[in-house]
Amino acid sequence: MRDPRYDILFEPMAIGPLTAKNRFYQVPHCNGGGYRDPSAAAAMRGVKAEGGWGVIFTEQTEMHPTSEITPFIELRLWEDKDIPMLRKMARAMKIHGALAGIQLAYSGINGPNMYTKEVPLAPTALPIRTFTNDPVQARAMDKNDIRNLRRWFVTAAKRCKAAEFDLICLYGAHGFGIFQHFLSRATNQRSDEYGGSLENRSRFAREVISDMRDAVGDTMALTLRVSLDETIGDLGFSNAEVRDFIEMNRDLPDLWDLAQGTWEDCSGPSRFKEEAAQEQLVRGIRELTEKPVVGVGRFTSPDVMVRMIRSGTLDFIGCARPSIADPFLPKKVEEGRIEDIRECIGCNICITGDMTQGMGRCTQNPTWMEEWRRGWHPEKIAARGESENVLVIGSGPAGLEAARALSMRGYDVAVAEAREAFGGRVARERHLPGLSAWGRVVDYRLYQLGQRPNVQMYQGSELGPDEVLDLGFQNVCIATGSRWRADGVARQHVMPIPTAGRLPVFTPDDIMEGRLPSGRVVVFDDDHYYMGGVMAELLAQKGCQVTLATPSAYVSDWTINTLEQGAIHRRLAAAGVKIVLNTGIAAIGEDGIETCCSYTDARSALPCDALVMVASRQSNDILFHALKARAADWADAGIRSVQLIGDAAAPGPIAWATFAGHRYARELDTGVWQEDWGDQPSFRREITDLAVD
């Protein structure tokens, strides 16, 4: 069972009038579902309860219609009608003995109110600060507004209590909550008793917490989430001032919840931030207060967690992403199953659910946000159906996840991989700059597969249709992946880019296979996720003179959704990469390329020695089509089904591949498969009732 050195993680601890059963604290995190998919969000939190978390929070909950952050989909508590939805969530959290927390957000200078059309209210009249530079400004709150807002917090607290929550987290971190807007000199330029000195800037937080404590503090605990450093030096709420604030208000909340800087700083991907990256900023704060402290840092290692507690840095181990990648992390530590922990890889795909208003996805945990929609549980899966065995061809994230989940269902599984190394694209991409943690996608699955008696793994085994027909498996899952295209077909060009045929053109596959350009290299990025920036970074490290050209206005522009676009641009600039934006390729010449402006089509020559084409990928689906062409032979060969999944069906990010692999395994022998699309969605939806006029 549990290793005694982890006992400390299971010691109960008081938070105000309540006691958490252990130190595993799921801090608030978004999921894309929010008010649109409340049952999906509730079931997701319920699975975490089952997984052993001691404290579980909702995402941010907008607490009054004068402040909302449309288009982002969070929760809402604007009127009593919102309570049943939230009560469903609180009950799901509490079912296994966790404390249920709700995060209240009044977004102030961060809420453009695109839905309610209300005038935003903030401590000081300034433009609204969002990801989208909305052309909206806030009105400065007068004393009456402040009185109203205090009352709205009390009303919200009473509603939280009616919804059966135990804890309320007041959001004042990441630049997102009104508490930070009052505390920071940058957003609070008032000259009355709410502005100026730190004591004055703290007044609003003190008043609200005191009001709320009077209303619900006998039964509920109040936590305050503050940024550890606004990262704009003395112009804002610096780490030194955060410490002064906490010392000055030692007992203000029942728990201090500390989270670094902006959301980008706090949820930095593994490409830019190590585990426990906030340790220095947190260290010593616990000595300034008698109240417990929680902090985050993409903690996946129980040894690091223990160190954070033993060193007196934290009382609770705050996790968002690690709890998404493995909702059963606490339980696995408790049961002494450390190797079974599915560690977060720090890719931030989970954040794209919120940023794109889609549905949350996780690269490591394909069941995330599908707990209610599809009835998927991260640790349980139905026993196999009527067939007995599956041949999985390709060992990338799709093939490995399919094999893992199929083996749990009880199928006999064989995995055939053409290469000597298992892992497909991840086996190669993990060696690119900053992507080593992504290797966990493969390491976790290979370990799990290695534990199962019903799995055979064959490397160096490239299969063609004859071999597949000879092998006699009942089901064939083709996860043969994709290759990068060299012809430039992607978004700017739907047909191959005209070329004089002499300039060497490389793809990311060439480079990952060790064929490298030299001299002056143009990396052309019409893919817009991480690969273009990573190629530029790698080639700069290898001594090339790199220019990154892209038709987009941003380097790696989709990474805005993974909160790393700014960090990528900074890293490339620091590496000496010349960045050329809004620029496509008109033609590939003999000793360079002809570029074209994305807006005016103005042409210019860009001399270079080589071009790296980061455009789109082509599916490796030849085997699938060859087998389809021989469908008449399947019955004799004993084949019942042949399916194409992952990048081999349609290239996408790694999370798309693990989802495809998992889905294949879940749906085998159930009669549900995409080829037989019915007239209904493949998952449950939540449809809002029409209001009665």
Chain residues that interact with ligand ADP, rule: CB under 6 A: 393-399, 416-419, 424-425, 461-463, 479-482, 620, 623, 646-648, 657
Nearby residues of 223 by Cβ (< 8 Å), 6 or more positions away: 15, 101, 167, 168, 169, 170, 253, 254, 255, 256, 257, 294
Per DSSP, the three-state class of 488 is coil
Is 366 or 584 the residue whose CB approaches ligand SF4 more closely?
A: 366
Is 120 or 399 the residue whose CB approaches ligand ADP more closely?
A: 399
Query: Residue 11 Cβ, how far from ligand SF4 at the closest point, in Å?
Result: 26
- The backbone torsions φ and ψ at residue 563, rounded to the nearest 5 degrees and listed phi first, read 60, 30
Query: Residue 347 Cβ, how far from ligand SF4 at the closest point, in Å?
Result: 4
Say which amino acid occupies 235.
Answer: L
> What 8-state DSSP symbol labels residue 565?
H
Q: Which of residues 287-346 bind ligand SF4 (CB under 6 A)?
A: 321, 324-325, 344-346
For residue 396, give the H/E element and its range: none
Alpha helices for 294-388 (secondary structure H): 302-310, 321-325, 329-334, 349-355
For residue 355, give both structure tokens: 């940023």
What gap in Å lies between CA 279 and CA 270, rounded to an integer? Answer: 15
Residue 612 binding target from ligand ADP, ligand SF4, none, CB below 5 to 8 Å by type: none
Is 33 or 481 the residue whose CB approaches ligand ADP more closely?
A: 481
Is 306 or 665 the residue whose CB approaches ligand ADP more closely?
A: 665
- The backbone torsions φ and ψ at residue 605, rounded to the nearest 5 degrees and listed phi first, read -90, 135
Query: Residue 366 Cβ, how far from ligand SF4 at the closest point, in Å?
Result: 10
Is 319 or 403 the residue whose CB approaches ligand ADP more closely?
A: 403
What gap in Å lies between CA 125 and CA 133, rounded to an integer? Answer: 16
What gap in Å lies between CA 96 and CA 334, rounded to an integer? Answer: 15
Is 349 or 588 the residue whose CB approaches ligand SF4 more closely?
A: 349
User: Is residue 350 at the binding interface for ligand SF4, with CB under 6 A as the rule?
Assistant: yes
What gap in Å lies between CA 299 and CA 313, rounded to an integer? Answer: 14
Please pick, from the candidates 226, 341, 347, 668, the single residue that binds ligand SF4 as defined by CB under 6 A: 347
Residue 324 binding target from ligand SF4, ligand ADP, none, CB below 5 to 8 Å by type: ligand SF4
Strands 610-614 and 520-525 come out as parallel
Chain centroid offset of residue 403 CA: 24
Residue 278 binding target from ligand ADP, ligand SF4, none, CB below 5 to 8 Å by type: none
Query: Residue 476 Cβ, how far from ligand ADP at the closest point, in Å?
Result: 11
Residue 389 binding target from ligand SF4, ligand ADP, none, CB below 5 to 8 Å by type: none
Is 558 or 634 the residue whose CB approaches ligand SF4 more closely?
A: 558
Query: Residue 609 Cβ, how far from ligand SF4 at the closest point, in Å?
Result: 36
Residue 348 binding target from ligand SF4, ligand ADP, none, CB below 5 to 8 Å by type: ligand SF4
What gap in Å lies between CA 93 and CA 364, rounded to an integer? Answer: 22
Is 124 or 507 the residue whose CB approaches ligand ADP more closely?
A: 507
Is 622 or 672 the residue whose CB approaches ligand ADP more closely?
A: 622
Residue 435 binding target from ligand SF4, ligand ADP, none, CB below 5 to 8 Å by type: none
Query: Residue 477 Cβ, how far from ligand ADP at the closest point, in Å?
Result: 11
Query: Residue 116 Cβ, how far from ligand ADP at the closest point, in Å?
Result: 42
Distances (CA, A) of 86 to 102, 107, 163, 166: 9, 20, 6, 12
Query: Residue 390 Cβ, how far from ligand ADP at the closest point, in Å?
Result: 14
Residue 613 binding target from ligand SF4, ligand ADP, none, CB below 5 to 8 Å by type: none
Q: CB-side exposure of 266: number of CA atoms within 13 Å?
A: 28
Query: Residue 349 Cβ, how far from ligand SF4 at the closest point, in Å?
Result: 4
Residue 346 binding target from ligand ADP, ligand SF4, none, CB below 5 to 8 Å by type: ligand SF4
Nearby residues of 79 by Cβ (< 8 Å), 6 or more positions away: none
List b or e across 157-193, with b for residues whose CB sees 16 or more CB atoms inside 10 angstroms.
bebbbebbbbbbbbbbbbbbbbbbbbbbbbbbebeee
Query: Residue 378 Cβ, how far from ligand SF4 at the closest point, in Å?
Result: 12
- Cβ-based neighbour number of residue 12 at 10 Å: 10
Is 570 or 625 the residue whose CB approaches ligand ADP more closely?
A: 625
Longest dimension (CA), the chain: 86
Query: Residue 646 Cβ, how far from ligand SF4 at the closest point, in Å?
Result: 17
| Exposed/middle/buried for residue 582 (C-beta within 10 Å: 0-12, 13-18, 19+) | middle
- Cβ-based neighbour number of residue 687 at 10 Å: 6
User: Is residue 177 at the binding interface for ligand SF4, with CB under 6 A as the rule?
Assistant: no
For residue 327, give the H/E element and its range: none
Q: CB-side exposure of 23: number of CA atoms within 13 Å?
A: 25
Residue 366 binding target from ligand ADP, ligand SF4, none, CB below 5 to 8 Å by type: none
Please pick, from the candidates 364, 407, 492, 499, the single residue that binds ligand SF4 as defined by CB under 6 A: 364
Q: Point out which span in 6-14, 55-63, 356-364, 636-644 binds ligand SF4 (CB under 6 A).
A: 356-364
Kindly state the number of chain residues that form the binding site for ligand SF4, as judged by CB under 6 A.
13
What gap in Å lies between CA 73 and CA 68, rounded to an integer? Answer: 9
Per DSSP, the three-state class of 473 is coil
Is 329 or 627 the residue whose CB approaches ligand ADP more closely?
A: 627
Which residue, 121, 119, 266, is CA-closest to 204?
A: 121
| Exposed/middle/buried for residue 579 (C-beta within 10 Å: 0-12, 13-18, 19+) | middle
Q: Are 218 and 275 in contact (CB under 8 A)?
A: no
What string marks each residue from 96 to 125 as x (binds ligand SF4 by CB under 6 A) or -? ------------------------------
Per DSSP, the three-state class of 177 is coil
Residue 417 binding target from ligand SF4, ligand ADP, none, CB below 5 to 8 Å by type: ligand ADP
User: Is residue 362 at the binding interface for ligand SF4, with CB under 6 A as the rule?
Assistant: yes
Q: How many H-runs (helices) and E-runs (strands) does the chain carry? A: 22, 28
For residue 643, give the H/E element and its range: strand 641-644
For residue 194, give both structure tokens: 């709410």
What gap in Å lies between CA 401 and CA 660, rounded to an integer? Answer: 8
Is 90 or 393 the residue whose CB approaches ligand ADP more closely?
A: 393
Is 146 or 657 the residue whose CB approaches ligand ADP more closely?
A: 657
Is 369 or 648 the residue whose CB approaches ligand SF4 more closely?
A: 369
Q: Which of residues 562-601 bind ligand SF4 (CB under 6 A)?
A: none
What gap in Å lies between CA 359 and CA 16, rounded to an integer? Answer: 35
Residue 344 binding target from ligand ADP, ligand SF4, none, CB below 5 to 8 Å by type: ligand SF4
Per DSSP, the three-state class of 549 is strand
Residue 449 binding target from ligand ADP, ligand SF4, none, CB below 5 to 8 Å by type: none
Query: Residue 362 Cβ, how far from ligand SF4 at the closest point, in Å?
Result: 3
Q: Of how many residues is the chain composed?
A: 693
Per DSSP, the three-state class of 52 is coil
Residue 418 binding target from ligand ADP, ligand SF4, none, CB below 5 to 8 Å by type: ligand ADP
Please pick, from the candidates 61, 363, 507, 565, the single residue that binds ligand SF4 as defined by CB under 6 A: 363
Catalog residues that contact ligand SF4 under the rule CB under 6 A. Answer: 321, 324-325, 344-350, 362-364
